[in-house]
């Protein structure tokens, strides 16, 4: 399986990184959309779960290597991994994300910026690792092992509001926000906290796209009139292109609807490339208008281990 797929945005060389798979309930992933409709797009297994990628994005930037999102990481136990259907083990005890970075020709130590779309465990779990770093990496390290930064030379970037939201959970949100994924970064004073839509580096900007969570952000790479947008959980898979196809996991689905509407009004005429974080089979494509809805052209398919 190819773990790192290259593409260019103007002068920037980028890679989608396959950081593993998870399996979540199909009904939860499609909210109010009836199963006879959504299962035409993605077939569920015997537990009604659908396969979802945990795709990250690597950008070779003059100011340093940039990684967008980090997958689920390696800190959670067997029960947690079974509940969420996590499959992200790499070779020789590493995570699959680490293997993907190596396949792209880099090392975790080379990463200078980590941008999180938000801090849910499947997007920020790989921010940190268990162990001191002196022992061989392992997905089975004891919970007594210390937690360290997975990217020791990086500055981590997220919306200020998202970090505060992650720190003040309730019964609905606490299962997704695990402090081991973000507090060690605060302890090391390695967060760069953003306030709204900003340029992080020349050619790399973020825009707040609320709905899934209030401070969710998408990441735009732009150069020479070329644009690629890393969607995070705003449009989780290519099956979520229709405006009302919104995840049951979204805290504010009507805000998601408007975030998607505004985005599509710009992306389609602008010829933007959409990079999907959770589509197990489609890494990227270009949205186009089709009748009253949208379709995807120029799709890059993934050599996925998931059977159709």
Domain ranges of the chain: 4-301
For the segment 191-201, the average pLDDT, to the nearest whole number, is 98
pLDDT tens-digit map of 217-276: 999 999 999 999 999 999 999 999 999 999 999 999 999 999 999 999 999 999 999 999
CB atoms within 10 A of CB 206: 22
Residues pairing with 130 in the sheet: 147
- Confidence (pLDDT) at 138: 47
- Confidence (pLDDT) at 304: 66
For the segment 198-203, the average pLDDT, to the nearest whole number, is 98
Most distant pair of Cα atoms in the chain: their distance:
57
Taking each continuous run of H as one helix and of E as one strand, the counts in the chain are 8, 16
Give the DSSP H or E segment for 29: helix 26-30
Does 4-301 carry CATH code 3.30.56.10?
no
- Using an 8 Å Cβ cutoff, are 287 and 241 in contact? yes
3-state secondary structure of 307: coil
Query: Would you say residue 188 has pLDDT above 70?
Result: yes
- Residue among 157, 301, 228 nearest 13 (CA): 228
- Confidence (pLDDT) at 133: 62
Query: Would you say residue 60 has pLDDT above 80?
Result: yes
For the segment 40-50, the average pLDDT, to the nearest whole number, is 97
Phi, psi of 271, rounded to the nearest 5 degrees: 65, 35
pTM, two decimals, is 0.95
How far, in Å, CA of 47 to CA of 153, rounded?
41
- Using an 8 Å Cβ cutoff, are 220 and 164 in contact? no
What is the distance, to the nearest Å, from the Cα of residue 246 to the centroid of all Cα atoms in its chain?
17
């Amino acid at each position: 399986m190819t773990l790192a797929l290259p593409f260019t945005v103007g002068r920037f060389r980028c890679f989608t990184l396959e950081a593993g798979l998870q399996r979540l309930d199909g009904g939860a992933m499609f909210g109010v959309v009836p199963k006879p409709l959504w299962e035409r797009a993605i077939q569920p297994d015997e537990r009604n779960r659908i396969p979802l990628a945990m795709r990250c994005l690597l950008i070779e930037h003059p100011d340093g290597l940039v990684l967008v999102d980090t997958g689920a990481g390696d800190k959670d136990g067997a029960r947690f991994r079974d509940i969420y259907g996590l499959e992200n083990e790499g070779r020789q005890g590493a995570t699959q994300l680490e293997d993907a970075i190596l396949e792209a020709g880099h090392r975790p130590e080379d990463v200078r910026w980590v941008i999180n779309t938000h801090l849910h465990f499947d997007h920020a779990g790989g921010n940190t690792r268990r162990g001191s770093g002196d022992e061989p990496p392992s997905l089975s390290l004891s919970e007594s092992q210390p937690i360290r930064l997975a990217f020791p030379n990086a500055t981590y970037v997220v919306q200020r509001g998202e970090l505060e939201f992650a720190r003040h959970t309730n019964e609905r949100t606490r299962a997704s926000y695990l402090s081991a994924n973000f507090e060690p970064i605060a302890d090391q004073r390695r967060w760069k906290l953003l306030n709204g839509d900003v340029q992080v580096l020349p050619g790399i900007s973020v825009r707040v796209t609320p709905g899934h969570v209030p401070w969710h952000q998408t990441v735009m790479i732009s150069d020479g009139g070329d644009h690629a947008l890393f969607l995070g959980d705003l449009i989780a898979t290519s099956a979520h292109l229709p405006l009302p196809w919104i995840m049951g996991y979204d805290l504010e689905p009507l805000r998601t609807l408007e975030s998607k509407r505004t985005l599509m009004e710009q992306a389609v005429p602008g010829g933007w490339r959409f990079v999907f974080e959770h589509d197990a089979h489609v890494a990227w494509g270009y949205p186009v208008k089709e009748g009253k809805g949208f379709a995807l052209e120029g799709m890059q398919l993934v050599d996925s281990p998931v059977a159709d």
